[in-house]
Amino acid sequence: MSTPYARLRFAPSPTGPLHIGNARTAVFNHLWAKSMGGLLVLRLEDTDTERSKPEYEKEILEGLTWLGVEWQEGPDIGGPRGPYRQSERTAIYQHIIDKLMEKGAIYRCFCKPERLEDLRRRQNESGLPPAYDNRCRSISPEESQARADAGESFTLRFRLPAKVIDFRDIIRGEMAFDHTSLGGDFIVRRSDGSFTYNFACVVDDVKMGITHVLRGEDHLTNTARQICIYEALKAEPPIFAHASLIMGGDHQKLSKRHGATTIAEMRRDGYLPEALFNFLTLLGWSPADGIEERSRTEMEKVFDGRRLNAAPAVFNQDKLDWLNARRIRDLSDERYLELARRYVTEKSVGNAALLLFKEELSCLSELPGRISMISSPPPPSEEELAEIKNWPESRTVLKDFLRRLRAMSDFTPETMGAMIDEFKASGIASGKKLFWPLRLAVSGSVKGPQIKDLLYLIGRDNLEKRVVEFLQKI
């Protein structure tokens, strides 16, 4: 049955947290569905009962919602083609299994785990890839039935046709897999009665009327296997798109070594969902006009599935930080303060101090470190200290600042501002020779926010104390 509109799906397995790679797949599916005026189905592939956990399911749904991915049918909201959790679809799968069994497309395999292990070991020793040798294919239907009736344990395997299996991938073009490269007849139902991914996935994609399947390229060989199931079911396969892998900056597969890789971690680190959504969109896709910075709704308008890219996507941390910094700057002060307070809980830190750093944060978790330059600055780095010591002006500049500070009668933002203007105009030094010694002395860093505001927030006594101490060091 053909559907009048595009129906896409995102089908995570709740066997772990939501990772960058899967989140990117979800974002692409969201955008592609929207750009075609279609809808997105969220399906939980929880047939692996050992590894699937309700807490992961919760984390995945929360992560997707936070990110801004929207689905129109799913386990939480229902829909006309549910249920949307595979563990609740057993009767549907069993019905299809019976039909395939009748047709001879699947058969019982009585091989014991020890035999399969032995087979794998021997293949490994001969340098061959692991593959089932299809031994139980030749068991007659009568014998197969008799052994099952006698209570012998069995799995069900799909009979792979002896041919080259081909399909078109809209990102990669024509794909072809010889049946011999697919590891032999594969299991569709385990001996404990649970169904495997390749089987359940196809049944669901057919029953849920899925028109486009976009997933990671690690599923390419699965797609070849799945194509065979479509054929056996006489169902039309969807359009396939396999997004490229995500690599770290070192061009190795993205992993823990590269830092935060789950959405929950990125959220904790203070990345904003708007920035992360934008960033994920660019991992394997690019807009025709080259404009990379866009809101979610703008992306929905310009996204074009045909521009998905086959080259590996490289996770560019600098780009993410840049996008995030821009989005932090765009926040209203009210929203910024609300988020900032999750990172800085000390009541003694006022809103003015938090706002001082709004323009220069790459992510919100930097805030406690940055704020410390007001309350208890870190010691200056050796290099910065050495550089400042080298300049003959440094001591004069600091002594002049101290003199002006001591001479101030009032200490307000305005008087502090005026004092700095005069200090600048005095000609004692200019540019970094004027401000670096001062910044290093009072905040432990030569870089920082607006000097006037910073100085005012540090406070008169602290300024004096820090400059005096610093003069003893240089």
- Point out which residues bind ligand GLU (CB under 6 A): 11-13, 45, 201, 215, 219
The alpha helices in 304-350, defined as continuous H runs, are: 317-330, 333-340
Pick the closer one to ligand GLU by CB: 262 or 394. 262
Q: How far is the CB of 252 from ligand GLU (least distance, A)?
A: 21
Task: Give which of 174, 176, 226 is closest to 11, Cα–Cα.
Answer: 226
Pick the closer one to ligand GLU by CB: 25 or 362. 25
H/E segment holding residue 10: strand 7-10
Pick the closer one to ligand GLU by CB: 13 or 281. 13
Integer Cα distance of 110 and 292 in angstroms: 55
User: How far apart, in Å, are the Cα atoms of 294 and each of 47, 69, 269, 285?
Assistant: 37, 15, 22, 13
Integer Cα distance of 380 and 470 in angstroms: 10
**Helix%, strand%, coil% for the chain, nearest 5:** 50, 10, 35
Q: How far is the CB of 60 from ligand GLU (least distance, A)?
A: 10
Pick the closer one to ligand GLU by CB: 11 or 374. 11
Q: How far is the CB of 13 from ligand GLU (least distance, A)?
A: 4
Q: CB of 121 within 8 A of CB of 78?
A: no
Q: In this structure, what token pair is assigned to residue 137?
A: 């294919």
Q: How far is the CB of 311 from ligand GLU (least distance, A)?
A: 21
Which residues is 262 bridged to in the sheet?
19
Q: In this structure, what token pair is assigned to residue 421?
A: 């203007």
Integer Cα distance of 453 and 189 in angstroms: 67
Q: Buried b / exposed e across 42-60, counting CB within 10 Å, b at 16+?
A: bbbbbbbeeebeeebbebb
Pick the closer one to ligand GLU by CB: 11 or 323. 11
Q: How far is the CB of 22 from ligand GLU (least distance, A)?
A: 6
256 given a catalytic annotation: yes
Pick the closer one to ligand GLU by CB: 11 or 97. 11
Q: How far is the CB of 12 from ligand GLU (least distance, A)?
A: 5
Q: How far is the CB of 91 from ligand GLU (least distance, A)?
A: 20
User: How far apart, in Å, are the Cα atoms of 358 and each of 355, 366, 455?
Assistant: 5, 11, 17
Adjacency order of strands within the sheet including 186-189: 106-109, 155-158, 186-189
Q: Coil, helix or strand for 155?
A: strand
Pairing of strands 106-109, 186-189: unpaired
Please identify which of the residues 34, 103, 112, 256 carries the catalytic annotation: 256
| Residue corresponding to tokens 């091989």 | 111
Pick the closer one to ligand GLU by CB: 194 or 372. 194
- Judged on CB neighbours under 10 Å (0-12, 13-18, 19+), 403 is exposed
Peptide bond before 83: cis, by omega within 30 degrees of 0?
yes
Q: How far is the CB of 417 from ligand GLU (least distance, A)?
A: 57
Pick the closer one to ligand GLU by CB: 136 or 201. 201
Other beta carbons within 10 angstroms of residue 246's beta carbon come to 21
Integer Cα distance of 87 and 80 in angstroms: 17
Q: In this structure, what token pair is assigned to residue 251?
A: 């061009």
Catalytic residues: 256
